[in-house]
Amino acid sequence: MLSDQQILRIPGPSPIPPSVQRAMSQPMIGHRDQETKELLQRIKPDLKPLFGTEQEVNIITGSGTAGLEAAVVNTVKPGDEVLVIVTGAFGDRFAKICAAYQIKTHRYDVNWGEAVTSDAIKEYLEKYPSIKAVFATFCETSTGVLNPVQEIAEAVHTHSNTLFIVDGVSCVGGVEAKMDEWDIDILVTGSQKAMMLPPGLAFIAVSERAWKVIENNTQPRFYLDLKKYRDNLDKDSTPFTPAVSLLFGLEQVLRLIEQEGLEQVYARHQLMMKMTRAAFNALDIPLLTTDKAASPTVTAIKPADFQADELRRILKEDFSLTMAGGQQHLKGRIFRIGHMGYCSPADVLQTISVIEIGLRKAGKTTELGKGTQAAQEVYLR
């Protein structure tokens, strides 16, 4: 096996572009110095289009979960009633965070692999009009489902002042998000997925409606207090020492996205999804989700006649290619391919063609090249 090659095809962390790697290697600077001020000045305007907002995007040093928790502790307090839409492991995480803070939590569970419908949420809110906030997952990383957050936003906002809070961790930057137009109140993402950076930053954009709630919320918080981030960002600063090297990288990521064009970035992710799905369809291996529910950033496959984890083991051993397994009750039953961020159609072809070899080694008598061919055809169409 070729030394020093790692092919990372999990749904985050995702590979880092070489120019971003170089940007992160810039010498350290003081977080209170003019250099950092200017860095934030350059970053701020270019972050907004990824969220589809005119609001400033706040940057927290932490895992994506820190961003999700910030969305909770800033908007609700113990005893408040919320609805958490659970379509997989990350919807479940929102529910767990709410539970930890004694928020009165309604769970709306959907079968893993399916998307929620806006009608269901509309009905639910009619039944429980005292719900103050609805939490949803945009792309559910654990299943590869893209939930229809635009439609859900509409359903939520027919109801007075209910907030609509969205975890966009595994898709913002790779999937169109129009926070202002769709009327999403809070949109969170992390650095290590479609944002092409190492883990360590959480991003969180907040609507005017949500800021009003945040300002009056008595829930104690300090490190995750969004008001502190907003007030400092207004002065091109951060309340606490930020992960400076990731900010260096972020500036370069935003430059790369600008060079490619945001629409092209989204189209590339759509294409990679279609290529991946066409390949498994051609190989007659079941996909976990329908075409309609599928995310452009991650595809989950649910094999009927071979072991998902055995295929993963073979590809890791033979090609240093890493795919993700299933989480919670899907452990061992699915495998997931990340195709987001620094990933191209050529990378998808590599992944598919390598998987075809792995399938043979796993004892499945698939026709070699058949999946690859289907993906190539999608590319050429």
User: For binding to its own copies (CB under 8 A), which residues are involved?
Assistant: 6, 8, 10, 12-16, 21, 24-25, 27-33, 61-66, 69, 78, 96-97, 100-102, 190, 192, 198-200, 220-225, 240-246, 322, 324
**Based on CB atoms, which residue is closest to its own copies, 31 or 178?**
31
Cα separation, 369 vs 360, whole angstroms = 11
Outline where 179-243 has alpha helix (H).
Answer: 179-182, 208-216, 226-234
Structure tokens of 87?
């379509």
CA dihedral (176, 177, 181, 182) in degrees, to 10, reads: 110
CA distances from 370 to 8, 255, 294, 353, 367 (A): 23, 37, 22, 9, 6
**Based on CB atoms, which residue is closest to its own copies, 78 or 129?**
78
Instruction: Tell me how far, at minimum, the Cβ of 249 lies from its own copies, in Å.
Output: 9
**Based on CB atoms, which residue is closest to its own copies, 24 or 85?**
24
* Beta-sheet pairing, 324-325 with 335-338: antiparallel
Q: Are 359 and 370 contacting, i.e. CB atoms less than 8 angstroms apart?
A: no
Instruction: Tell me how far, at minimum, the Cβ of 362 lies from its own copies, in Å.
Output: 20
Which amino acid is residue 302, in one-letter code?
K
Instruction: Tell me how far, at minimum, the Cβ of 202 lies from its own copies, in Å.
Output: 9
DSSP sequence for 140-180: ETTTTEE--HHHHHHHHHTSTT-EEEEE-TTTBTTB---HH
Instruction: Tell me how far, at minimum, the Cβ of 24 lies from its own copies, in Å.
Output: 7
Instruction: Tell me how far, at minimum, the Cβ of 99 lies from its own copies, in Å.
Output: 9
**Based on CB atoms, which residue is closest to its own copies, 64 or 345?**
64
Dihedral sign of CA atoms 153, 155, 158, 163 in order: negative
Instruction: Tell me how far, at minimum, the Cβ of 290 lies from its own copies, in Å.
Output: 27
**Based on CB atoms, which residue is closest to its own copies, 55 or 192?**
192
**Based on CB atoms, which residue is closest to its own copies, 283 or 324?**
324
